[in-house]
Chains A and B, each alone.
Chain A
Amino acid sequence: MALFQILINNQKYEVDVEANKPLLWVLRDELSLTGTKYGCGIGQCGACTVHLNGTPIRSCGISISTLGDSKITTIEGLKSDNPILKAWEEINVPQCGYCQAGQIMSAVALLNNNENPNDKEIDVAMNGNICRCGTYYRMRKAIKTAVKK
């Protein structure tokens, strides 16, 4: 066990955990930031997507010891007026909702880096996120709606 200081949603946290503990489980078990979800644990589903200095990463595959003073953003840290959230609500995207935090984090990162993504770029940015309820059609629509906002 070791002490780590991490910066999540602009807030400093100190946790005493094993160095190889994945960020996903630090968020969920230690900090009760349960908006970030477990879906596969092997980087295949994207349910655990968070931002590391603005880049979407799978938090199930990155251990706490590698974070240093990086800035982590989770679903809880998004501003409620984010155009992606607005569009998601307008298009009524979620079904069960379980994958959605990860989807949203991927979509927000996409728009942060690309003001007007085309279909191919949407495919690439969102392809790491599985939605078992099948909301892909609405997510594509919502991303395009957010672009207009």
Chain B
Amino acid sequence: MIGRRDFIKTSTLATGGLFLGVNLSCKEKPLEQLGPGELHDFNAYLSIDTNGIVQIANPVPEIGQGVRTSLPMLVAEELSVDWKNIKVIQADAGMRYGGYDQRAAGSNSVRIYWKPMRLAGATARELLIMAAANVWEIPRENCFASGGFIHNKSDKRSLGYGALAEKAALLEVPQNVELKKPSDFKLIGKSVSNPDIKGILNGSAVFGQDVRIPNMSYASMEKSEVYGATVKTFDSSAALAIPGVQKVFKVAFHGDIERPFCREGVAVVGDSVWAVLKGRKALKIEWDLGVNIKESTESLHQNCENLVGRKGDSEVKNDGDVYKLLNTSSNKLEATYHLPFIAHVPMETVDCTIDLRDDSCEIWSTSQVPFADLNFLSRFFELPTEKITLHLTRIGGGFGRRLGPDYTIEAAKVAKEIKKPVQYFWTREDDIQFDAYRPFSYHKLMATWNDNGQLTSWLHRQAGTSRYAFRPNVEPYISEFFPNHFPANLTPNFRQEYSLAVSNINRSLIRAPGNNSLAFAVESFTDELAYANNSDPLEFRLNLLRDGNKEFPFDVEEGTVISTQRMKDVLQLAAEKAGWSKKLPNSSGMGIAGYFTFDSYVAHVAEVSVDRHNGILTVHRFTSAVDCGQVLNVDGVKAQTEGAIIDGLSASLFQEVTIFEGKTNENNFNNYMVLRMKDAPKAIDVHIVDNGYPPTGMGEPPYPPVAPALCNAIYAACGIRIRKLPIKNQLKTF
């Protein structure tokens, strides 16, 4: 059995001061159940130098979700130290720092690190108190910590952490350290400044593409627009004639030839990005286009429309007898919704810098899952992970794009070939054309209700290109449907069916995977049902959720338990703050949608107006209510919500990847549009439900309900029901 003592270890800093390491690998099992062999080295740490500066190593990649603020806040809170004395550094990837838990995915950083980070801070605080008590020769109970000092209760004397750090390092680590009560929190639940802001504002923050190491080359790869194409022949002479181009070579595809994980291509290495870009243009490549030249989104539309027109291939959930109700009830409604492929387009295109030496390797990674990359690279370079140092740079956006190691594998192949330091990058064209997209889907919903307006049955048929389509022994619907999402368990007859639309187009996960499509279908249809019942859309939802609180197991990675009360609370709060029942001018309207993801609840009310003559939509305001349990950084929660609203509006208004003859038609921001200042709502009000539940993440949950809130508002404003995204020019009707 392993006690707390093995969980936290201290030592003296070389420069004097306290070093405290924590073992965070307690996610799989409670700490008490870990055997000695399962205990890894410290995987997060803090140190306090003799000036009282607290340095905290943040284990999780920062992609803009604010994790370099929120996790260190937990330590600072328990340590009772001023935020301005905190210095955040970025931990490298490795078992030491959390291994697989070092990921910016699944909105789970806060869930994983909530306790261990606090325990680290609390233990350090306790050690400092003990050190002060020793100095003053008084009982520990007569001391307390606040603002970076240990205070003596009886005589107002105090000692700074810097002065105590070294003494604290020599003490035995105390067991059973008490964590603060939420009512005593001074930082958690407030807003703090971003520790990296200065570097961002003066241009010194180092993103992946800003890494500069001595003797570094740049490299990039020319690939076919057709997914799965292979190189027949290539002529590199013109490329090699370009000043600065150093080397040109073929890089073979990786994975299945029909659905390669990395596409085949011709890499160009040069002494500058510009040389590489020109070199790529000068290449002459003859391609074998392979089997995917028949792929098109047009045929997928037809296929999916047909598939949702009949009973689905898989039964995802079946309560009662939906078909009986649908055959007999006179109150019924059906509608079909569509969501297209969309691309991630992080602002910084993907990149990876590798310095491969004979017996070691140093990597600057922009991955959302750096530990997975570390393991892959260790195998690929045949180097033990101890010989590889993988640094995490600041990262220019993720959205799920950096979960797959495709670009890292390509970088590794290039590094192995040229055996010198190299920064491998994708252009924006590469980013959009060679992305793995959010799955394409169709959703047909049918429902019946009784004369009291109560829902009696609900059928949801989905057909699409599941991202799990090619996983062995896994039902493809697993990634696309969540059988316990509302209104499951709220209506006696409930059924979900899924049919896979076969396609090789590459797809993967994007912010709130599965949910970002489901929310649009489910929350739009709920709205349609409300109108069909002559019911107010908010009232209709509240009635559906009924009185009192009911909790149902959710039982998938995307959530553990779903509660009717918490959903009602966010809906009501958003509606109240938005002035839900207030009279709006003509051609204006409000729409509401509420959604549960990753154990967080979010409701948005959108207020829009539509100029039907010109088809111009103005999104005036979003009012949001979020319940993510205990809030860490209020400003961070607001920022994530604001960002998700913009992201959701981009997707709703413009974003669509279309495929013709196996090629992606879109290739840059001129034809794959992202929302700009002019179209962004001028008001976004985020309200937080504070209810004492354990903290949950906020990077993803506010995203899914954006599209339905918007489209429900459009309907309220002008009577046009958007059932296919993106909206593009569907509002121009005259």
Contact = CB atoms under 8 A, between A and B. Distances in A.
B349 A130 contact: no
* A interface SS class: loop
Contacts of A101: 203
Interface string A6-22: 00000000000110011
B677 A140 contact: yes
Contacts of A22: 274
A123 B682 CA distance: 11
Nearest to B191: A92
B670 A129 contact: no
Interface in B350-400: 394-399
B346 to A, nearest CB: 6
A132 B274 contact: no
A132 B668 contact: no
Contacts of B645: 134
A80 B397 contact: no
A78 B668 CA distance: 30
B84 interface: no
A85 interface: yes
Contact of B428 (A32, A33, A41): A41
Interface stretch (B35-43, B146-154, B193-201): B193-201
Given A21-B274, A35-B203, A94 B668 contact: no
Contacts of B348: 37, 39, 96, 98
A48 B669 CA distance: 14
Interface stretch (B130-138, B206-214, B252-260): B206-214
Interface residues of A, number: 60
A123 B678 CA distance: 5
Interface in A102-149: 104, 119, 122-124, 126-140
Interface string B660-690: 0000000011100011111011111000000
**Most central of B197, B398, B399 by chain A CB within 10 Å:** B197
A39 B191 CA distance: 30
Nearest to B63: A96
B648 to A, nearest CB: 9
A18 B243 contact: yes
A99 interface: yes
Given A22-B274, A92-B639, A98-B396, A127 B677 contact: yes
A137 B649 CA distance: 13
Interface string B632-662: 0001000100111111000000000000000
Contacts of A133: 64, 347, 397, 643, 646
Contacts of A75: 201-203
How extensive is the interface on chain B, given as a class? 35 or more
B680 A136 contact: yes
Given A85-B201, A95-B643, A132 B346 contact: yes
A139 B646 CA distance: 13
Contact of A137 (B64, B196, B394, B680): B680
A74 interface: yes
Contacts of B206: 34
Interface string A40-76: 1110110100000000000000000000000000111
Contacts of B418: none
B210 A34 contact: yes
Contacts of A136: 646, 675-677, 680
Given A132-B674, A140-B677, A97 B272 contact: no
Contacts of A137: 642, 646, 680-684
Which 9 A-B pairs give the minimum distances between C-beta atoms? A35-B203, A134-B646, A96-B64, A98-B396, A136-B680, A75-B203, A95-B64, A34-B210, A97-B200
Interface of A: 1, 17-18, 21-22, 25, 28-30, 32-42, 44-45, 47, 74-76, 78, 80, 85, 88-89, 92, 94-101, 104, 119, 122-124, 126-140
21 contacts: A21-B274, A28-B209, A29-B274, A39-B347, A39-B428, A42-B428, A80-B202, A92-B193, A92-B194, A92-B635, A94-B200, A96-B63, A96-B347, A97-B207, A130-B347, A132-B347, A132-B397, A133-B643, A135-B642, A135-B646, A138-B642
